[in-house]
């Protein structure tokens, strides 16, 4: 029964359907949703993902804990029905939905860290108006707790002085900035950084991640981790 419930959760996230539109040959949507919230609210998704990352790295002949992490952010449209889309202001009520002026997207931003093989290490979800470097600081705090052997953090040119100083001084890690060539046009494959772009593309094959439908930010992060877990399980059990 538990496996069928997990299949039901995976069906919703993979195909992007509402919970109440689940096929009748799967467990009731209310049961699947209750289990999903137990996993999300309890922080279990991050623990499971971390364990599977270590197993997959060992299968590939690598050390279980990575020493290098690649950090990036993805802005995503948000269709959440609740007020967490915006930011509560005590003097003005709920501010309009956050706007990422750079990407021209209204919604949220996913800050993620991956290892050199593109495995998702951790994720932090914020409103879209949070700068990459500001969202990257709490992400790195979580990253070094999960993976204490991290030595180098690779970022792009959007991560400025505040982020670099934090990682170097407070987290005591090295920051490697991989910048886009000044005169480059169109798509450019950047060393190391292409892995995080590849991971974002692979995870968002789960249609539930194409648009953020979650009312709560921690549930939104759990959906990313669930997609990562599915990907890791396929890698570990293959061959």
CB of 125 within 8 A of CB of 150? Answer: no
Which pLDDT score is estimated for 95? 44
Please say if the pLDDT value at position 184 is more than 70.
no
> Per the confidence metrics, is the pTM higher than 0.85?
yes
Which pLDDT score is estimated for 215? 87
Query: What is the C-alpha separation between 86 and 78, in angstroms, rounded?
Result: 10
pLDDT category of residue 205 using cuts at 50, 70 and 90: very high
Report pLDDT digits (tens) over 26-54.
Answer: 999 999 999 999 999 999 999 999 999 99
Q: From 156, 199, 155, select the one nearest 173 (Cα to Cα).
A: 155
| CATH 3.30.420.10 domain extents, the chain | 43-237
Query: What is the C-alpha separation between 189 and 187, in angstroms, rounded?
Result: 7
CB of 214 within 8 A of CB of 80? Answer: yes
Handedness of CA 177, 181, 186, 191 (dihedral sign): negative
pLDDT over 90 percentage in the chain: 74
3-state secondary structure of 123: strand
CB of 27 within 8 A of CB of 1? Answer: yes
* CATH superfamily ID and name for 43-237: Ribonuclease H-like superfamily/Ribonuclease H (3.30.420.10)
Average pLDDT over residues 145-171: 94
CB of 152 within 8 A of CB of 174? Answer: yes
DSSP string, 21-50: G--TTSPPHHHHHHHHHHHHHTTHHHHHHH
By CB atoms closer than 10 A (0-12, 13-18, 19+), residue 60 is exposed
Report the chain's mean pLDDT, rounded to a whole number.
Answer: 89
């Amino acid at each position: 029964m538990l496996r069928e419930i997990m299949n039901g959760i995976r069906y919703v996230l993979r195909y992007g359907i509402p919970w109440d539109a689940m096929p009748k040959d799967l467990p009731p949507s209310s049961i699947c949703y209750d289990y999903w919230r137990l996993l999300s609210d309890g922080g279990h998704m991050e623990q499971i993902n971390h364990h599977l990352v270590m197993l997959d790295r060992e299968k590939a002949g690598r050390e279980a804990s990575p020493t290098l992490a690649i950090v990036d952010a993805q802005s995503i449209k948000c269709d959440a029905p609740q007020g967490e889309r915006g930011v509560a202001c005590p003097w003005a009520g709920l501010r309009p939905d956050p706007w990422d002026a750079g990407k021209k997207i209204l919604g949220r931003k996913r800050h993620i860290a991956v290892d050199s093989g593109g495995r998702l290490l951790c994720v932090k979800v914020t409103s879209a108006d949070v700068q990459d470097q500001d969202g990257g600081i709490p992400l790195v705090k979580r990253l070094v707790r999960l993976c204490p052997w991290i030595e180098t953090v690779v970022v792009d040119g959007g991560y400025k002085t505040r982020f670099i100083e934090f990682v170097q001084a407070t987290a005591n890690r090295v920051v490697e900035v991989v910048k886009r060539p000044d005169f480059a046009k169109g798509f450019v494959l950047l060393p190391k950084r292409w892995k995080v772009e590849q991971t974002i593309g692979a995870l968002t094959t789960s249609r539930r991640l194409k648009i953020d439908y979650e009312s709560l930010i921690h549930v939104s992060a759990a959906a990313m981790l669930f997609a990562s877990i599915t990907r890791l399980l396929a890698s570990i059990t293959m061959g």
